[in-house]
A and B are shown apart, each in its own frame.
Chain A
Amino acid sequence: MTDGTKKPEELLKLDYTPPKKGWMETPVDFKKGTYCYSAPQKHQEYLGLPYPRQWQPFDKDWKLPENWKQIILDGMSDRLNKYRSFRLYMDICVRCGACADKCHFFIGTGDPKNMPVLRAELLRSVYRKYFTLGGKLFGKMGGARELTEDVLKEWFYYFYQCTECRRCSVFCPYGIDTCEITMMARDLLSLVGLNVGWVVEPVSNCFRTGNHLGIPPHAFKDTLDFAIDEVADLTGIKVDASINRKGAELLFITPSADYFASPHWYTFLGYLMLFHEIGLDYTWSAYASEGGNFGLFHSAEMMKRLNAKMYAEAKRLGVKWILGGECGHMWRVVHQYMNTANGPADFLEEPVSPITGTKFDNAKATKMVHICEFTSDLIKNNKLKLDPSRNDHWKMTFHDSCNPARAMGLLEEPRYIIKHVCNNFYEMPENTIREYTFCCGSGAGLGSDENIEMRLRGGLPRANAVKFVKEKHGVNLLTCICAIDRAVLPTLLQYWVPGVEVSGLHELVGNALLMKGEKERETDMRGTPFKQKES
């Protein structure tokens, strides 16, 4: 937690009444703690981004290229012709307001420009001015306004204050998806060299080294060896794991945070234990060592550039299909974009579980299976020996991550696993789970330290629901299947609901898993003693 952060009581003093002055007349105010810094120039240059330069949002002069306005307008025109979603969502909103109080940033800030409808109007007003007759004729009366530098700054502020979680789109009668609009806006901003560091730096790292954290292959090898040792200490079993091994049956890809951050680490150990136990013939890759894809938070092109490695590596290694780990936006890319952007994967086989023989028909074209689909199938077919009581020291709840929930529908698979690996599971209130789940508030590249106040605000609805189950059932663990969640929720929960830890799902699988020939385990992976069985 950064010092000088406001107390929860202060942050909760929220007023949802909008100001008297109209939104078009209210310029953006870059308050410390509520926005992300720009990207270091070297990373912009490495990726070949347009107009690389040093600038910061708090600078008065953003050093925009001279013809920035034309670049943006041309870019808009281009994207209006490329994306039906964009053109349609610019035209059909009726401003019914159903989305207004569905956004975690609006709930946590009360800032009217965080109502999804108004966030979109920031862009729509410019669309009307330059691309519609009504806007040209009636100007402000027709909801249109000039594109000025202030408008551009406002875009930067508010489109990097949207986590592309798609919750508003569930409630919209026309399915208008602010995520689509935010993606377009960020893409446009990038055309004139406006990017945030927390997106561009990981992207640049990932492009070069293969993962967001910038871990080179030898360090990846070291960390894997370290993990193998740790599993051996815990279970007495030396697990098999290989990197870049040709001829393996499967390639396993997970977010790099899983093997370098905490509490992700325990999920990493869980994977190693599970794969060893079932005798899976699989390999890790140091070249495609990232499941996540921060390119998605930049532009469709950048998403494609990073994602290309998955298929390329699967082809090079000659595996049959790809298994993917726990991650949110990674699965947005894999599920909805990968095969279109980088397919067809005709060099891979339709996925079949080598352990159970189950055909994953739902992934027969993309040829990549979610670990929760894979593990729930193992459990269903009685391939795992599990002792859920080894997770009895946890009273847990499950946080549906935005993308698996609203861009995939992976809801029951993780719950099925949970019910088999632990005994104390409590759901959060209905309006905050499954397709109604609330974002962690730090997704889509907003998880930087300098943005902490906004993240805490955005995380309020999620944390509030956790608080509810904590008070009602004594919940002390939130488990989730997203690496960004695991990175940011510990901070947010420590702030809003102290006493609730965060874990990945396969950490709990690892705890419960009875491995052949394992020594008597006394603690879980974190070193916490198992709860004594009442006899």
Chain B
Amino acid sequence: MSAVYLAFGIIIPYAALFIFVVGLVYRVVRWARSPVPFRIPTTCGQQKSLPWIKSKKIENPYNTAGVVARMALEVLAFRSLLRNTKTELKQGIQKLIYKDSKLLWLAAFVFHWTLLIILLRHLRLFVEPIPGFVISIQRLDGILHILLPNLYITDILIVLALGYLLFRRAASAQLRYISLFSDYFAVLLLLSVTLSGIFMRFIFRVDLVSVKELALGVLSFHPSIPADAIGLAFYVHLFLVCTLFAYLPYSKMVHMAGVFLSPTRNLANNSRMRRHINPWDYPVKVHTYKEWEDEFREHIRESGLPLEKE
């Protein structure tokens, strides 16, 4: 039995962490090594041109501050998803209607933020003494004071958000059509991680003191399986988390790193103000003025236009 605990409590987590770190670094380095030959920001507002025309400094940034603000809005508030509309064609009156459609934004926003809060809450298992902000987050998250142990708001929200994202993908014919197996797998994996955690808290209780002992051991590179049994549910949860971590860099979830590198969002729209260099630029075959004049010399002369060479 101890070999199984060793595998699921220590070896697999180390392996997953290793695969996660190596994979993520590999992906980011791979992207970063491909240069950005041209400045191609997608401009979503008025450019900076004449001084009396008000420019959109964030939606169409011309300097680094603007880009930072644009990226912050994109990463923290999912700005672009907030623009979402749903297009409908009213056949009878032959009209296209664009309806506001913010549910995708809401679900994505709620999912990502609750995931972050839940991750931060988990810090109490990895840090001793528990930092004050972690305790505050935990207290706020449990402010409803219902059920025992205290039910976290984020636990409800993340399940709702993931449930909606899964439902949305499965229910819409268009989304089903574009979905790959991995799209369902990602959301199901996240759901199973979440649900196994919630079950562990409310039904299959585990010994948190031992969990922390294991976690601190693993983090300090002195891993050992605690003497008191933690409980099977913990190992199920941990294994799912390990799967998620190991899978993440090789899946679409790697967008968490990729979004920062997107050239349509992270560049300033200043290519007429400052010259940008293409590192792989090479000379191309052009049609010179001389060649052009040589071909059309007689016509140019007849029409009275100036010539370089008479």
Q: Which A residues fall within an 8 A CB radius of B?
A: 8, 12-14, 16-18, 22-23, 48, 80-88, 91-98, 100-102, 107, 112, 115, 117-118, 121, 132-134, 141-143, 166, 169-177, 180, 207-210, 216-218, 221-222, 243-246, 286-287, 300-301, 304-305, 308-309, 312-313, 316, 334-337, 339-341, 343-344, 358, 360-366, 368, 373, 376-377, 380, 405-413, 416, 429, 431-432, 434-436, 460-461, 464-465, 467-468
Contacts and interface: CB of A to CB of B under 8 A. Distances in A.
A180 B35 CA distance: 14
Which 4 pairs, one residue from A and one from B, show the smallest C-beta to C-beta distance?
A409-B47, A175-B264, A92-B258, A409-B43
Nearest to A222: B303
B37 A368 contact: no
Given A177-B264, A221-B305, A431 B49 contact: no
Contact of A121 (B89, B178, B284, B303): B178
Contacts of A246: 306
Interface of B: 27, 30-50, 52-56, 59-60, 62, 74, 78, 80-81, 83-87, 89, 91, 94-96, 98, 104, 108, 172-183, 250-255, 258-259, 261-265, 269, 271-278, 280-281, 284-289, 292-293, 295-296, 299-300, 302-306, 308
A44 to B, nearest CB: 15
A406 B276 contact: no
Given A85-B264, A377-B50, A406 B303 contact: no
B61 to A, nearest CB: 10
Count chain B CB atoms within 10 A of each CB in A217, A334, A363, A366 and give the residue with the most. A217
B289 A312 contact: yes
Is chain A's interface secondary structure helix, strand, loop, or mixed overall? helix
Contacts of A409: 43-47, 55-56, 60, 269
B45 to A, nearest CB: 6
A98 B106 CA distance: 13
A12 B38 CA distance: 39
Contacts of A18: 173-174, 176-177
B49 A118 contact: no
Prevailing SS type, chain B contact patch: loop
Most-contacted residue by chain A among B46, B172, B288 (CB, 10 A): B46
Contacts of A134: 182, 250-251
15 contacts: A13-B91, A18-B173, A22-B177, A84-B263, A88-B258, A174-B262, A175-B259, A337-B271, A363-B272, A409-B47, A412-B46, A412-B53, A432-B98, A464-B95, A467-B95
Given A208-B287, A209-B292, A407-B41, 6 more contacts: A92-B252, A174-B255, A363-B272, A364-B273, A365-B275, A467-B95
A82 B42 contact: no
Nearest to A285: B289
Given A177-B40, A305-B284, A412-B53, A83 B34 contact: yes
A114 to B, nearest CB: 11
Contact of B178 (A118, A245, A305, A341): A118
Contacts of A365: 271-275
Given A143-B180, A358-B50, A407-B40, A93 B83 contact: no
A13 B92 CA distance: 10
Nearest to B81: A173
B307 to A, nearest CB: 9
B55 to A, nearest CB: 7
Contacts of B250: 132-134
Given A87-B30, A166-B42, A339-B271, A244 B178 contact: no
Contacts of B255: 92-94, 174
A100 B87 CA distance: 10
A117 B174 CA distance: 11
Given A171-B80, A173-B108, A174-B259, A344 B275 contact: yes
Contacts of B306: 244-246
